[in-house]
Every structure is written in C-alpha cells, then in structure tokens.
Amino acid sequence: MTESRKNKFYIALALTLPLLCLAMLFYFRPFWGLMDDSTNLTIVDSMNKEGVLPVWWKLSTTDLFSHGRLRGLYFATIALIYLPAGASSVTAFTLNIIFLSAIFFFAAAAFWHSARAAFDLKTRHAFLLAFVSLSFAYPWTVYAIRAPSVQEKIVLLFAALTLWVQYRCDRNSLLIWAACTSLALAVSVNTKETIALFFPIFLAAQLELDSARRNYRRTMLLLVFLLALTLMIKWAGTHGTYKAAYGMDRALQTLRQSKSLYLFLALAFGAGLASLLDFASHKNFPRFAVAASFPIGLLLFLVLMIPWGLGGYLNCSATVFVVMCLIGISNFLGRRIAFFRALSPRMYLGAAYLAAVTVLFIRLRPDYSAYADLRNVLFSPQIDAVADQGKTLWMPCNEGAGTVEHYLQRFRGLRLITRMPGTNPTLAFSAGQYWLSSPGNCSGAENIGDWISRGEAETVIAPGLKGGYTLVRRLKAP
C-alpha cells in the first residue's frame, strides 16, 4: 500500500469512531442531561430575546467579577451548539460529536510537530490514528461526548490552536510571530483556568524550535507572555466565590477517595522515566524538554485539581497529557524492549483503535440509553397521572430534581413539583410516593432495587438497560 493510500485508510479508520458515536446517538435518541443543559437552554432563551452578543457580554463579565472565572468562550460555545439545536437534544448532541471529533483531529495535526520532535516519530498518519483513537479510548472522554456543556473540549481546541500558530508562524519575523502568538494566547486564556496546564508544552515546543536557529529570543518572550497570563488567571480567581471550596480539606478528601489519581501518577512517572532514559542516550535537551512537558502537564493537572476534586468530566482536562504519555511510553518500549520491538506498528494502532471502540460501546451506550429512559419517563402517561394527582416526584441526586421540574414545565407544560428526598424524608418514603432514580446517574444512597425485592415499591416504568432511569412507586414505608 502506498503512503497516500495508507494516509487515506488511517484517516477513514479514525473517522469510524465519531460515526460509531453518531450511530448510538440516533439509535437511543437520548434526552437532555441533568447537569448544565437546563441552564444553557435558559441562556439560549435570553440570546433569542436579547441577542447573542449582549447576553455573551453580560454573562462573561458577571462570570469574571462575580465568580472569578475567565471563560468567555464557554458562552460562545453555547451559542454554537445550543442555538441551532433549539429544543432538539439529538441535534445538540450531534453537533457536539462533530465539534469534539473535529477538535481531536485538529489537535492531532497540531501536536504532530511536538510528537515528532519528542519521540522521533516518522509517520504522520499513524500518529493521527493513534492520537484520535486514544482520545476516544480515554474513558473520561465519554463525558465530553454525551454532554455539550463540558467546556474542556474548547480548552483543548485553543491549546492546539496556540501550538499550531507557534509552528505555523515560526518562519515569520519576530514581530509577526509575537503578534500571532500573543493573540492566540489572549484568546485561549478565555476558555478555562486549565489552559495553564499547556504552558509547559508551549514553552518546550518554542525552545525546541529556537534551538535550531540558536536564538532564544522567542522562547524568552513567550515565557514573559505565559507569566503574564498566569498572573491574569490568578487575578481573576480573586474576584469571586466559585473557588471557595478549593483548598486543603478538599485535597485530603480527593487523596482518600479518588480512583484515578494513582493511575495518573503511575502514567506520569512512566512517561517521565521514559523521557529521562531517552535523554541519557540522545543528549538533546530541547527534545527532552518537549518529551517531558507531557508528564509535567499531567502532574500539573493533579496539582491543580486535587484541591478541587478528580473524576467525571473534570478528568477531561487531562486527555492530551494521557494520550501523549501513552504514545511516548509505547514508542520507548518499541525501541528498547525486544518483546515490544517485535510487535508491528499496526498492532499498536489496532490495539488503540479496538480500545476506543470498546470504551465507547461500554461507556457511551448505557449513558445514551439512560437519557433515553429519561425521555420515556418525562413524556409518559404515567408522569401525567403523577402530575394530575398533585404528587411530588422525588429524585435522590443534586441538580436532577430542579432540572426535571424545569424540563416538564418547558417541554410538556406540566407543573410537577420535583424534590430531593432530604427536603422531606418522612413524606418521600411514605406509601404512594413516586421516585425517579438511576443507579448510574442519580441514586444517592438509596437502592431502588432493594425496595422492590423487599416489596416496598413497584416498578412503574422500567429502564432500557440495567442502570438506566426507573420510575417507581412506594407501596409502604421502610
């Protein structure tokens, strides 16, 4: 097979991953999620009434001075995905999959130069397939696929854009390079605080570029830019209460409870060790700096997030670092260890691709099915009957109760009070009360299955798959 055909084949194979996501989406037709979709739909209502730009400006300035957050591009993303979708969750999720997939492909192209410099890679199309496959295989990517509101994807987009600008403008004059790079950085800092995790990569990439011309003015100027942006992010964080819970108490809780923390530490250690052993042989510091910037980015992710919490959509911020660390470790093993050297590159790529398919099927399928269950419940005659009886619907999860009440009013015109059981536990557990719960997404400390097995409740609407949303009616108090 010629290089041109290989290139087309690998790109086509990578494209089957977003197509798989779309196939599951159209099969299950999930409803809106319970976290930020409700808020974003309300924002879109305001944009339709007042205009996109006035609402964007109002929300961005309020977010900065009230919450201490630099994330103006988040509200631009809301307009990009939610405005065209209107009331259709399937349309919004479709746009989100296309958007996220395009980001992965663009990021692969942008990070190729760094990967080639760090790991001495030769074939661009193989790297593209590996990067895209591992990005989809990363288990926490599912949160960004199923939820258009997850803003970590735009952090990756503008991190990749900044790196692409660095390489693209490197042959231009210092003035043009400085103007383009500073503009890209100024825009990217409005994504989310986690853009700072990419600063070491930006700096290492520029150091490697400058080493070829033996002139480090751009590296020093970039360092000044990055320090200024770091101070800006720190300044923004002093203007609001959003980070009030950020601190040692939350860090200790994360250290006790996080399941992903030690996996990330092991991966950073492995990639860092591989880059050090490589440096011992090639003695090229700029190349080592680029290779080491990926485990350093992963460690910075842990330093930043441990005082806030790890898990769920928060781990999406580590996608590129995990992917590049895995590629670095695989490359090292393939060159240094006889067993791995005997494996063909196609076997590595095949393993990455199969991992992506497996993760998407195992993780995304039940999530889409669960939100399809939510649609079935909200548009069912049974929920009409609950509203007609003047009952309260109980949901044992944060944000879920208020969101479902909003959805019923918005899409059905039903006035059905929906509350968490903690607001009135005596009433919530009494006979005749209705509960909407999902073991995977919304269960609290309650085990609905045990209620049914003990004869304390009956199933009114069953889920499509195990772990989906179930509507039950209590038969008697516990």
Q: Tell me the per-residue pLDDT of 355-398, one tens digit each, with 9 for 90 and over.
A: 999 999 999 999 999 999 999 999 999 999 999 998 999 998 87
One domain, residues 347 and 438: no
One domain, residues 359 and 421: no
One domain, residues 415 and 456: yes
> What's the CA gap between 295 and 323, in Å, rounded?
10
One domain, residues 293 and 412: no
Element (H, E) at 437: strand 434-437
373 in any annotated domain:
no
One domain, residues 279 and 392: no
204 in any annotated domain:
yes
One domain, residues 353 and 383: no
| Other CB atoms within 10 Å distance of the CB of residue 383 | 23
One domain, residues 388 and 348: no
Number of helices and strands (H, E) in the chain?
A: 22, 5
One domain, residues 396 and 258: no
Picking from 367, 387, 402, the residue at the C-terminal end of a domain is 367
372 in any annotated domain:
no
DSSP per-residue string spanning 182-228: HHHHHHHTTT-GGGGGGHHHHHHHHHHHHHHHT--HHHHHHHHHHHH
464 in any annotated domain:
yes
pLDDT at 305: 86
Picking from 308, 341, 367, the residue at the C-terminal end of a domain is 367
Query: Percent helix, strand and coil across the chain, each rounded to 5?
Result: 70, 5, 25
Q: Which amino acid is at 425?
A: P
162 in any annotated domain:
yes
309 in any annotated domain:
yes
One domain, residues 467 and 444: yes
51 in any annotated domain:
yes
Structure tokens at 223: 């360092």
Is residue 91 within 8 Å of residue 41, measured between CB atoms? no
* Three-state SS sequence of 16-34: HHHHHHHHHHHHHCCCCCC
Radius of gyration of the chain (CA): 24
* Among the listed residues 363, 376, 371, 404, the one whose alpha carbon sits nearest the alpha carbon of residue 462: 376
Which domain, by its residues, includes 400? 379-474
pLDDT at 478: 80
One domain, residues 425 and 298: no
Has this prediction a pTM greater than 0.85?
yes
One domain, residues 278 and 150: yes
One domain, residues 9 and 133: yes
> What's the CA gap between 425 and 305, in Å, rounded?
34
pLDDT at 251: 78
Burial of 464 (0-12, 13-18, 19+ CB in 10 A): middle
| Count of residues in the chain | 478
Picking from 340, 367, 394, the residue at the C-terminal end of a domain is 367
DSSP 140: T
* Among the listed residues 399, 467, 471, 420, the one whose alpha carbon sits nearest the alpha carbon of residue 149: 399
pLDDT at 306: 86
Structural domains counted in the chain? 2
374 in any annotated domain:
no
Question: ∠ at Cα 388 (372, 413), nearest 5°?
Answer: 55
Distances (CA, A) of 225 to 182, 232, 309: 7, 11, 29
CA dihedral 84, 56, 403, 370 (to 10 degrees): 50
Structure tokens at 395: 């949901």
DSSP 392: P
Could you list the mean pLDDT of each consecutive 10-residue stretch along the chain, which spans 478 residues? 76 94 96 90 92 89 80 88 92 96 96 93 91 96 92 94 94 93 94 92 95 91 94 78 69 80 93 93 92 95 86 89 95 84 84 96 93 94 92 86 92 92 87 88 78 90 89 90
Q: Angle between the 3-28 and 124-137 helix axes, to the nearest 10 degrees?
A: 20
